[in-house]
Structure 1
Amino acid sequence: TDQNEEDGGQQLHQQFFRSVLDLKAPGIYLKPSKNRSLKSLTFTSKVFKAQLELPPLLVEDSMAPKFMNLIAYEMCPDNTETKYEATSYIISFLVSLIDYPNDVKELRSAQVLHNFLGCDKDVAKVFNQIGKYLVPNTEVYEKVIDQIERHYKNKYLTWMAQVVNDHFSSPWTLVAFLAGFMALGMTGVQTWFTIDSQPCPCENFCQNFNASSQNKLDVGHQLGIDPGSTLFT
């Protein structure tokens, strides 16, 4: 029975959320929110990428007991006015975001997690243990979750994010692309002006005819022939 409950909880996590690496694939990047409140979660979708702002969190030895006590307080039957903010943020977001040490690494790089506990593997283990037997309440952050899912399932946005990641992840790559595009454009303009500046066939014929007539006049003048003579016709 316990195993079934645990499996059910894990399936529930997978149904509504993704790990950090899963979110990175369609161009969803993390950023620490300016407000440290657990309610300060925002999601902004842009053209080629999206931004998920999360409240920064300090990870140290006493973190797990503190959060477990806070979660226990929120879930206490006597606490009828709770909104499950700590439970929802820790379980709905952080535990779901962290599957592997590389997920912790991405969170550290984004300055969402500040690790004073040890290696990334230890942090991943702590969060997985915290959420092992807890069922998340997704209603608190339902709007943000829906926005993430819509962006994640948009194939066009996913494709554009992969193109940007694969080919324009470095600023120098973008500079090289723009330089090549400008060179190609200048070559096209130069080719167009070259073709446009060439004389038409009629103009060539007139020039050749006038040159031929002038040559005949010069020869006739040298031979003393009257320009009105039938020799010039």
Structure 2
Amino acid sequence: METELRLIGDQSQENAGTSDDHVTSIMEADRQWLKSVEKKTKLLPKLLNNSAGKSSCCIFRVPHSLVEINKKAYHPHIVSIGPYHHGKVHLKMIEEHKWRFLGGVLARTQQHGIGINDFFKAIAPIEEKIRDCYSETIECSRQEFLEMMVLDGCFIIELFCIVGGIVQGDIDDPIFKMTRMIFFIMRDLLKLENQIPFFVLETLFETSILSSRKQNVSSLTVLALKFFDHAVQRPPEVLRSNGVLEIPLLTVDDFTTSVILNCVAFEQCYAHCSNHITSYVTFMGCLINAPSDAGFLCEYKIVENYFGADEEIASFFNNVGKDVTFDIQRSYLSKVFEDVNEHYSNNWHVRWAEFKHAYFDTPWSFISALAAFVLLVLTMIQAFFAFYGYFRPPKQ
């Protein structure tokens, strides 16, 4: 390498007629440049760190290509959880209430000798494990990171306990009193970038006073499911599409669409899970190519539309699959895709389905079809007797 540098210097001297001192300065500059290049090769990635492909890493930044399609679907609107959106100005209101919730937790636990220091002691040994759950390198001090985990974790646990009836909340608490406030918080808690690891919540839950009454308290998992159950409308039964496919009722609103988008983003980022949500929305996107398709599914109670017009339903399912990698062989619906395509390739089935939809879909269309059929039969009978009378005239 030094020989190469000398050649560069000699060539520069020959071409430009420079002095030996100038050659030496060029060589030194090249050495510094080469050192800086070598130094860069040893830097660890920060925006997508080396542990991002491990099963332990499960909290990701949503790919920019997906954010561009649905810009408001992935970022929190009212509360930040974890480091990715920590400190943003528009989330400051609930940030202040987190401290109030933590105070409520401490007011109970301190009666049993558990103080704030005990929560930090519980989280400190697993700090590195927590950091490894994030696909980005978290650039904050140890104290700031532990404070964030304890504050956000206790806030979530307190929400679960109040909604689950484990803790008596203030009846005038604005978090629960103001219209739709808790709904917005629920929606933000299910966004991919707005997370802390569940084992952090379990650690804090076990540390709190609730762990001393475990026989009378539901598990954290049950409390979490009860909490989000308030925002999800469950179908009462499985409903049918023309007797061919059985599809559960899907309620489409701001909450469900946000959850679907973030679940799809998670499946795109995390290689150690199924692709069930991506499979489902891809299948629905194949069924809904136009607003009329959305209207058809709404009419048959397969889709319950609280989202807007049929155009918005069609637009959502058409966009959710954009820039998404989908392997049909890994899909739990692969056989359904195969059977539907095979059924559709049979022209007789398609024509019969179109005929039924056109003439037997509603009572009025059936009556019209029946009237037309009767008229056709009468016309044929009239034509038959007319021809019969012509070729076989009655005997005189």
Q: TM-score, normalised by structure 2?
A: 0.32
Bigger strand fraction: 1
